[in-house]
Structures are given as structure tokens and as C-alpha cells.
């Protein structure tokens, strides 16, 4: 199984000491123990989380340790860089969503969701997210809580 992390899940992994984020941190640690599971950190999710962390650190509202944690995750997990082919696929997804009347962002926004979807399709993975609403239209998605509860029942 290939799990591709969305920025919502990734940001929770950057703050492992917060009690409300401990469950997702335990879940990811469990996944890393399974040889049959691959955890992918897509570059677009890294960008989304990194820019926010830098902003919060400069405003003195976050610790640099959160950014160090993100850097560590980029080494620990399978980092998936953006490629030209991925961005071209994302452009196709974006245009198709517009034509279908179901855009995920304002017309002039970068629309990281379609880029994430293209990266997930490239990796043949399932996006693990905290919000399936937009992403499920473009690529396979699961809420991390659903995966965690399914695994708990399988034990």
C-alpha cells in the first residue's frame, strides 16, 4: 500500500508533542514498521506546510523545532519531487475540474490540491488526508482516522 500525505496530515506530524496530534503521529510510526506500506511525502505538501511554518516562526508563533521535524520527515519518508510531467497532469486535472464546474480553488490560485492529486496518481498511491472533500474527485483518498480504525480492527 502506498500512502501519499496531504498537508493536513503532514502538519500534524510536525507537532508531535501536541496532544491532539499524537494519534496521527502514532499511526505514522506504526505504518513505518510495515514493509508492505510506503509513506510518500509529496513536494507540494512539503511546500504548503513549510511556508506556513516559516511564517509562524518569524511571527514567533511556532518553534523552529517544527521545521526541523519537517526536514527530518523529508529524509525518513519517501520524498516525491515535482516533475514537469506531474505539473502538466495537474494542469489537465485543473482544466477538467473547471469544465465540470467543480473547481477546488479560485481561478488565479496555484491550486495545490490538483498538484497533490497528480503526485498521488504518479505514485499510484492513496492520499491520506484530514479532508477528503476536494481531493476525492481527482485521486483515491482516505481519511487517516479511517485507516487507523481499520487497522485497529484487523489486529
| pLDDT (tens digit per residue) in 102-113 | 888 888 777 899
Q: Using alpha carbons, list the distances in angstroms from residue 41 to 73, 88, 116.
A: 8, 20, 10
Beta strands in the chain (DSSP E): 2-5, 38-42, 78-80, 126-129, 141-143
pLDDT at 154 over 60: no
CATH topology of domain 2-148: Rossmann fold (3.40.50)
Count of all residues that appear for the chain in the document = 155
What pLDDT band is residue 131 in, cutting at 50, 70 and 90? confident
Cβ neighbours of residue 13 under 8 Å, at least 6 residues apart? 5, 21, 24, 25, 28, 69, 73
What pLDDT band is residue 149 in, cutting at 50, 70 and 90? low
Closest CA to 11 of 58, 76, 59, 62: 62
The pLDDT, as a whole number, for residue 153 is 43
Give the residue extent of every domain in the chain.
2-148
| pTM for this model (two decimals) | 0.90
pLDDT at 7 over 80: yes
Amino acid at each position: 500500500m502506498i500512502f501519499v500525505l496531504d498537508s493536513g496530515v503532514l502538519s500534524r506530524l510536525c507537532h508531535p508533542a501536541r496532544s491532539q496530534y499524537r494519534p496521527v503521529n502514532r499511526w505514522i510510526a506504526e505504518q513505518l514498521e510495515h514493509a508492505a506500506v510506503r509513506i510518500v511525502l509529496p513536494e507540494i505538501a512539503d511546500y504548503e506546510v513549510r511556508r506556513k511554518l516559516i511564517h509562524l516562526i518569524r511571527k514567533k508563533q511556532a518553534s523552529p523545532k517544527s521545521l526541523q521535524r519537517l526536514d527530518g520527515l523529508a529524509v525518513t519518508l519517501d520524498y516525491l519531487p515535482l516533475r514537469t510531467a506531474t505539473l502538466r497532469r495537474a494542469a489537465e486535472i485543473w482544466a477538467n475540474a473547471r469544465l465540470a464546474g467543480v473547481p477546488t480553488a479560485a481561478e488565479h490560485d496555484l491550486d495545490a490540491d490538483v498538484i497533490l492529486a497528480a503526485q498521488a496518481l504518479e505514485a499510484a498511491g492513496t492520499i491520506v488526508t484530514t479532508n477528503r472533500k476536494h481531493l476525492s474527485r481527482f485521486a483515491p483518498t482516505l481519511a487517516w482516522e479511517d485507516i487507523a480504525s481499520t487497522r485497529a480492527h484487523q489486529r
